[in-house]
Chain A
Amino acid sequence: MHFADGAIPAEYLGYVRRKNLWILGGAVLLFLLLIVSISVGAVSIPPYDVFLSLVNGTIDRINVLLHPGTVLTVSNTDLIVWNIRLPQALAAIVAGIGLSVAGVAMQSILRNPLGSPFTLGISNAGAFGAAVSVILLGAGEMHSSVANAVTLNNPYLTTMVAFAFCLLATAVILLISRIRGASPEVMVLAGVALSSLFTAGTMFLQYFADDAQLAAVVFWTFGDVGRASWQELGIMALVTIAATLFFVANRWNYNAIDAGDETAKGLGVSVERVRDIGMIVAALVSAVIVSFLGVIGFVGLVCPHMVRRLIGDDQRYLIPGSCVMGGVLLLASDTVARIIVAPYILPVAVLTAFLGAPVFIYLLLAGYRR
């Protein structure tokens, strides 16, 4: 079959350009927000100084790398920017991107608008893992009610156990779907069941915990982007970038699956395999973020839906769009969380839920389709 006489319709090119502009605009917004986020806080730094510190600091650090022996000169501003606020802001962006892109992929793979790391039990599995590490393995306790007074004696143990339980939850979902044939309904229902199971498990452990342990567990479940060190940030960024590239490479497969399993198979997509591998990658990126930062709900669920409203369901734009939106939303939430009840700093998860639930209800009322 051949269509020799086709033309390139100008209106379609214009439409594609508009979508790309949306995404580009979002990226610019994200950068501006990064500057603002770093400039506000207990010590406020003018945005221009933040910008200078970022640019000069980057140049200096490259210099140090290129010419070993050079001494890095840092002002007080540089210290606050580079050691406190930048890692936190970047952690918010990376986590926002990771959770959001995992949500997009899960919604598509599972053909269900409720797909997200949170609804599929992965977050709750992580919380259960943290509870196990604190209460059964004695990884930490909390000594005062002010945030940051928690001592996790062994934060890496908590992270590892949380991660292990995230993977366990994923493995169980995949195993069940393997037995019943990789149908999206089975995966979603298995996720919901696991989610309740792990919540019940966490409550059971908490019931037998002492005050200090209980506080540490509860504190851990309040997802907080301020927890990440540069090294942890590096791990999260690597996993998130790899997962995002993987999803982008699969964008046509997800578009095809969105059109129905049979259509997708007719278009050459090995639907079951794409579904299984996509679930593993989405779960992995969620697991890494949840184990380092705690439970941050709603970002993975809401961001993709907000982007769908703006630029539609086409994964070619939806995936990058959700990345940008995830970064913007979590960074904005974290910035507000840091200043809303100053001098106290709220964990960002409190704010995402406050923000996410009304947005989600609005989306329901506005009648989205997927």
Chain B
Amino acid sequence: MILGVDGVAFTYRSAPVIQEITFDLRPHQILAILGPNGVGKTTLLKCMNAILRPKSGSVLVEGTNLLTADRMEIARKVGYVPQRCEAGRMTVFDAVLLGRRPHIRWDVTDADIRIVEAAIRMLHLEDLTLRYIDEMSGGELQKVSIARALVQEPRVLLLDEPTSSLDLKNQLEILGIVRQVTTDHDVAAVMTMHDLNMALRYADRFILLKDGVIHAAGSPDVVTPETIEAVYGVSVTVERYNGFRFVVPLAPESA
């Protein structure tokens, strides 16, 4: 087990947002957190690296409780890719280099530069090394953001809707990279997602949130017409095609 989340609860102005969230992950696993808008997916993700302070519970990464660790220590264990990041006038290389910050003492070393170069190659950004990120497309920027999280050399990657603003090709590429990273580098990844079919294609563990609590959790088998109906309030059928599962809505709300 690389990540253990136990009894995490978060309240906003005394109203509970998420409660009693408990699960664990092993290296190489990708967890998809599913649920409707406003159910607390992003809140849960932010609680896991203490961007938000949970009211109770613990988040263990390799035995260290992140909720009592200092920020810098958390940043060496967990890489976080927010839904969007700001693009200033910085080159791709420097933007990725920023991810070394939790490891840099005063100045950048050759080792830092080597790590950044390798991460840039891994994400196929090498032709853009000296491009300014404020001149890049959404997909390229998302890759920069992921590369930045990778050079933190974390044990766990948290990704908040990593594919929300991307076209089909970029969605497949980004999720493929997440898959590759988790297997090549012995890390676990947690993603919040809206696209159920993309989640079914790339994740191997699932949590369906309803009203701030876990409604169902486990292997792809937990994604059933019943759980989807209960969580999203939409009737669906789950079909199989070419070995992949697909969620097909039957009757949209308006019909």
Contact = CB atoms under 8 A, between A and B. Distances in A.
Interface of A: 1-9, 11-12, 15, 111, 252, 255-256, 258-260, 262-263, 265-270, 308, 312-314, 369-370
A2 B185 contact: yes
Contacts of B151: 3
A3 B118 contact: yes
B149 A260 contact: no
B6 interface: no
A255 B132 contact: no
11 contacts: A1-B185, A8-B117, A256-B98, A265-B80, A267-B102, A268-B72, A268-B75, A268-B101, A308-B89, A312-B132, A314-B94
B76 A262 contact: no
Contacts of B98: 252, 255-256, 259, 267
B150 A259 contact: no
A370 B117 contact: no
A312 B75 CA distance: 26
A141 to B, nearest CB: 49
Given A11-B129, A252-B98, A268-B101, A262 B114 contact: no
Interface in B55-114: 71-76, 78-82, 84-91, 93-95, 98-99, 101-102, 104, 110, 113-114
Interface of B: 46, 49, 51, 71-76, 78-82, 84-91, 93-95, 98-99, 101-102, 104, 110, 113-119, 122, 129-130, 132, 134, 145, 148-155, 158, 181, 185-187
A314 B118 CA distance: 21
Counting chain B CB atoms within 10 Å of each CB, the highest count among A259, A260, A265, A314 belongs to: A259
Contacts of B72: 268
A248 to B, nearest CB: 10
A266 B93 contact: no
Contacts of B91: 12, 15, 312, 314
B101 A256 contact: yes
A238 to B, nearest CB: 23
Given A3-B115, A9-B113, A256-B101, 11 more contacts: A1-B154, A3-B151, A9-B93, A258-B90, A259-B148, A263-B148, A265-B80, A266-B78, A267-B152, A268-B101, A268-B102
User: Which 8 residue pairs are nearest across A and B when measured between Cβ atoms?
Assistant: A6-B114, A268-B75, A266-B80, A3-B118, A6-B118, A313-B88, A268-B72, A1-B185
B184 to A, nearest CB: 9
Contact of A259 (B88, B130, B154): B88
Contacts of B87: 369
Nearest to B144: A259
Contact of B150 (A1, A11, A256, A267): A1
Nearest to B107: A316
A269 B117 contact: no
B90 A6 contact: no
B71 A265 contact: yes
A265 B154 contact: no
A262 B80 contact: yes
Contacts of A255: 90, 94, 98, 101
Nearest to B134: A369
Given A5-B118, A263-B80, A370-B89, A252 B101 contact: yes
Contacts of A8: 110, 113-114, 117
Nearest to B98: A255
Contact of A7 (B85, B114, B155): B114
Contact of A9 (B94, B129, B149): B129
Given A11-B129, A12-B129, A252-B104, A312 B90 contact: yes
A152 to B, nearest CB: 44
Given A1-B150, A266-B80, A312-B90, A259 B85 contact: yes
Contact of B145 (A4, A12, A263, A265): A263
Nearest to B82: A262
Given A11-B129, A268-B71, A312 B117 contact: no
Contact of A267 (B101, B132, B187): B101
Contact of A266 (B75, B110, B115, B155): B75
A2 B149 CA distance: 13
B110 A1 contact: no
A260 B110 contact: no
Contacts of B153: 1-2
Contacts of B158: 266
Contacts of A7: 114, 117-118
A263 B75 contact: no
A11 B76 contact: no
Nearest to B149: A266
Nearest to B108: A316
A3 B98 CA distance: 16
A265 B51 CA distance: 6
A3 B132 CA distance: 24
A312 B244 CA distance: 46
